[in-house]
Each structure stands twice: as C-alpha cells, then as structure tokens.
Structure 1
Amino acid sequence: MSLAVGVIGAGVMGGFHARLFADEISGARLVAVSDPDPGRAGASAYGAQVFAEGLPLIESDAVEAVLVAAPDTAHHDLVMAAIRLGKPVLCEKPLASTVAQCREIVEADAGRNLVSVGFMRRFDPAYREMKAALDAGRIGAPLLIHCLHRNREAPRWFDGSMIVANAMVHEIDICRWLLDTEYTSASLTQIGDAGDMLLAELHTDRGAVVSVEMFMNAAYGYHVHAEIVGREGTVAMAEPAQVRLRRGSAMQVGYSPDWIGRFADSYRLQDQAWVRACRSGRPCEDMATARDGLLATGYCQQLVEHLPAGGGPLAPRM
C-alpha cells in the first residue's frame, strides 16, 4: 500500500510538496492538506481532504505521515503532535524556533526516529557528486569550502538575523554534511549600508574553513555555488543552468528566479527518499535528523548573537 501523506501549510513550499506527493512521488498518495486560507488549501489539495488547522490533520486516521510546511513558530507543536501519535514527520527547516524547543523534539524522538528535517541540499545531485569526490579522496584533505548564496530579491524586513537563520542555515547544514564536521568559531562581516549582504568565515573541528557569501538582493537571479579546495585538487559545481544561448557574439546563461527552480529535483529526491524510509521502517541515512535540526538552530542562534561583535566561538548546542 502507498503511504498516505498529509501536508500542513499550502504556501509556496507546502503547495510544492503537495504537488510532488500528488503527481511525482512513487509509493505515496496525498490524502490531506491544511491551511488557514481555505482557497489556498483547496488549490493545493488535488482532491484530497482539506483541513483548516494542522493538528486535526495529524490526528486524522486517514493520515499516516506528515509533512510540515507551516510558519516556523508552529513547527514545534506540530512535530511533537506527530511524535505523540507515532507518525513519521518531515519538517521544513527550522525544526523549531528555539534551541530549547528543538531539544524537546530530539528527546521525544529518541529511539523512535520519526522526525526528519527538510535540508534538501543533501539530495542535490551537484552536492552529492562533490561529497562522493571528497569521500573518495580525489582532492586530498579538504582545506576550504567557498560558498555563495544569492537571492534575486528579499523583502525589506529581511534583516541580518534572518539572513543567518532563514538562508545561511542551508550552508551551515550542507557544509557539516560534506565535511562530517562541527564548527568551532566564526567571523562575520556585514557589507554595505543596505543590510542585505553578509560574509561569514567558519572554522571547523577538523581544521577546514568554510567561507560563505550571503547576498539577498543580487537582482540577476537565484544563484547557489560551492567549491571545495583540497590538498590535491578542487571540486566545484558547474553553473546550474540547463541551456546556454549564443547570439550576437555573446553567450547567455539563465538563472532561476527562486530556490524552487534551482532545487526542484532536490526536493523531489528528498521526498522520495523520505517516503521510501517511512514505508520500510528504516531511517534514510542521508536525511537530516532531529539532531541535525537542533545543531543547525543552535549554530544559527550563536551566529546571530555574534553579529554585533563580528564573530566569536561556536559550539554544538545539544
């Protein structure tokens, strides 16, 4: 039997996940969608049952597994409800708004492995090829990872703390995963007067350094890039564009306007792996766990605290 999935939240992310479960993920069927906006919920439900709130969806006997794409502040209560009922839950980042709430989830999930966190870059083909090259020793010992993360446009209220907690959190997780490491310290520089660019340098417990450029209003499109510099070589992403237009003595490369266009395949692969794990009863090794969600939130909280001083020590908060 296919896995009966309920999606909580029918905004951009929830609506995208709902479509995947309805049309593209094998072994799953979309049975419910919840959102306070009935029109938005209905548009994302593809004929599935519609709920106004997330908790009744979780409690429904028709729902076997839950994807949480509700506002960040609702994540803790929804994930805890799924754990209490023994239902697997895939929660979009962050796992919860505070370290204390994340810790409560980790403790409740101990020995049960019901909780996964939506750090979908772990399933991105480019990152996975980079990790395979690194793990195989093809570039020698890693020394440095260069990362850039540029959005085309961000709301005016997207300040320095949100740049860290809502955007750079992906670099924090993916570089931990690539290097199998934890962070020990960071330096932070806010660039320009607009408050929309941040440069971070994170040191790790294995000696490698992670540099991250965050630019929230890059104008030309959504652009994520990474390169690992090793003792014997480098491995880097190619440009993500699918086509190159040559005309008038010039070549043009297109960029996605947003993260969904760039990482659509990553979301699909992640959701498929989650469904496969739910049906088998065995955790997916590549999926981010509740512990990973706790660590990511902890590092982000420390970085936000260090912003005024320009950096400071980091430690895993467990």
Structure 2
Amino acid sequence: MSELLGVAVLGAGHMGADHIRRLDQGVSGARVAAVADPDTDRAAEAVAGIEGVSVHAETASALDAPGVRAVLIASPGPAHEEALLAAFARGLPVLCEKPLVPESAGALRVVEAEVRLGRRLAQVGFMRRYDAEYQRLKSLLDSRRLGRPLMLHCTHRNVASPPGFTSAMLVNSSVSHEIDAARWLLGQELTAVTVLRPQPSANAPEGLVDPQFVVFETAGGALVDVEVFVNSGFGYQVECEAGTARIGDERGLAVTTAGGRHEEVAQDYLVRFADAYDREVQAWVDATRAGRVTGPGVWDGYAASAVAEAGVRALENGGRVTVDLAPRPDLYA
C-alpha cells in the first residue's frame, strides 16, 4: 500500500503535540490528517506548517474528516472511552495512549465492544514494550537463562509532580507503566497489591503521599516492588532489575572537569523514551497499513486499570487488596 495512512490525533497537549510531530517527521507511511482538541488554538499551533490537516473542536468531526483512516488518542484519560467507542463504530484502527480508560468498569466496556466487533482494532500505548533495554530484558527472561523469575525490583522517579497531581495518581498514572511492564516481562497476571507509605518527602506538595512503595503479587508466585517518587528533584529515572539483570543504567553525556564528573539525567519521559515512542508508533503504522493489530491490546489496558484500582484502594486502606479480573475473552487468548 503506497498511500499514506491518514491519522486523526485526538488531543494536542504535551503528548498529543509530540505525536503530531512524530507522525509528521519521525515515522514513515503516515500523515496527520486531522486533529481535535477543545482548545482549537492549541490544536492549530500543534499542526502549524503541516499541510492538509483539518482542525476540530469535537472528536466526531475529526474522525469523519476526509482522509482519516486511523486514530491516535492522546486526550486526557476520562475522554478515552467515548473516543474509542466512536472509532470502533467507524471501524477505525486506534492507538490509544494509556490509560485505556481510567476506571476498570469503563475499560471492560471497551473490551466488550471490541469483542462484539469480532476483531481487534485498538493498541494501547504502553511504550516500554518498545524500548530496546526492556526488549532485551524480556528476551533474557523468556530464555530462562537466569532460571524462573522470582522478583522484579523497579524504580520510577520524576523531577516534580505537575499541579493537581494526587496521591492516587502515583499508582494509577505513574505506576501503570510498571503494571504493564511486569505483566509483559513475567507473562503473568498481577493478583494482589500492597502500598506502603513512608514519611512524605520534603519536596512533596502539602498532602501528597510521595514517595510510595508498591508491592504486587503475581499468579505465578513472583513479587514485583516499585519505588515511585514523583518529586525527586533531580531527573526522570526508570530502572528495573530481575535477578542479576538490570536495565536503566544507560547514561547520557558525561563531562569530567575541575576534578569531578557530571552525567546527564533525562528530565522528561519524552526524552528518556523518545526512541521507544518512535518504535511504537512506527510499528502501529506498519501493522495498521497491513490490516493487522499488534502490541499491547485492549485486554492489557483493562488489566492495567483493574490492577491500578486495586492499588489505589490499598493506598487508601493501608492493606493488601486482591485484583478481581473478568474472564479473559477468547479474542485476547
């Protein structure tokens, strides 16, 4: 197929604008055909200089715009369910940024809608599956060269939390990436969550429980722990250790001067995972043009939302909370 894949991008904020740039400049086989954002000035700014793009305030009008054959959802999580169901109704393939839907009930409705279609249409944006280091760790664990995985140790640190960031969001926004990565790396569902609350950092805004220590149990008897710290003050840092294997130590520019050594630390997830985002979107474009869906799907998005909900309850209640998943449909076997 020689024709470029026309993509409607929903959301022109930080993530959406980056995907617009990526589709226009970073991947092959696709173009931005339409963009939708309630702030049409922001949308117009995001596509400035890109020819043939229509700007819309409403999702439906963007999906129905001329040349649209696929959808990339980068709007806030609460808007995802409506956008996904609208895309399904039009038979449009979707790449949806995480979360699929923040609430597990809504995510399950999306699962049920896709099952009724009888075919997969949506991929969820868990980009760590496309990161070169994570892929090498996955291959190593699958090979069983180190034996059966028993524990994963993870860290997830940000420079500072944005305004309005809540204690629950450390789990259902930040740690949602570790939830999917753990399920994928281990090939097991997460079955229970415990959240431990140390004394908040002096860097944390008033009332924010930060850092947190999250422990997941898996169906195969493994344990996964995550230190999440969103006001570290120094940079964006993601690490994962399985036995003697460890990722996340790759360094940026190192400068030795005046008797010391300084190494750069990424300040933003779009910097740390820039290559993973490029790989993810390129893989989605290639698969979509070939009429296929690959990568993490709607079931993975639902499972992540269900585990995150259990994690928020564990944070609030201070105890161990089990994860209750619906039966997995054959479409996702």
TM over 0.5: yes
Where has structure 1 moved over 4 Å in runs of 4 or more? Answer: none
Q: Which residue of 2 aligns with 1:100?
A: 105
Residue 134 (1) aligns with residue 141 (2): yes
Q: Secondary structure at the match of 1:307?
A: helix
CA–CA distance in 2 between the matches of 1:273 and 1:103? 25
| TM-score, length of structure 2 as denominator length | 0.90
Q: What is the deviation of 1:186?
A: 2.2
Q: Aligned letter for 1:53?
A: E
Q: 1:29 aligns with which of 23, 28, 31?
A: 31
Q: Aligned letter for 1:27?
A: G
| TM-score, length of structure 1 as denominator length | 0.94
Q: What is the deviation of 1:240?
A: 3.4
Q: Which residue of 1 aligns with 2:252?
A: 242
Q: Which residue of 1 aligns with 2:313?
A: 305
Residues 81-113 of structure 1: CA deviation (Å, up to 9, x unaligned): 000000001111111132121111111112221
Q: Aligned letter for 1:102?
A: A
Q: Aligned letter for 1:296?
A: A
Q: Which residue of 1 aligns with 2:196?
A: 189
Q: Aligned letter for 1:219?
A: G
More divergent stretch after superposition (237-246 vs 143-152): 237-246
Where does the alignment leave 5 or more consecutive residues of structure 1 unmatched?
Answer: none
CA–CA distance in 1 between the matches of 2:109 and 2:75? 19
Count of aligned positions: 312
Q: What is the deviation of 1:43?
A: 1.8
Q: 2:240 aligns with which of 200, 207, 226?
A: 226
Q: Which residue of 2 aligns with 1:19?
A: 21
* Partners of 1:295 and 1:316 within 8 A in 2: no
CA RMSD of superposed structures (Å): 1.3
Q: What is the deviation of 1:68?
A: 0.6
Residue 214 (1) aligns with residue 228 (2): yes
Q: Secondary structure at the match of 1:191?
A: coil
Q: What is the deviation of 1:156?
A: 5.1
* Partners of 2:111 and 2:302 within 8 A in 1: yes
CA–CA distance in 1 between the matches of 2:46 and 2:67? 18
Q: Which residue of 2 aligns with 1:72?
A: 77
More divergent stretch after superposition (149-158 vs 61-70): 149-158
Residue 259 (1) aligns with residue 269 (2): yes
Q: What is the deviation of 1:203?
A: 1.3
* Partners of 1:198 and 1:213 within 8 A in 2: yes
Q: Aligned letter for 1:202?
A: F
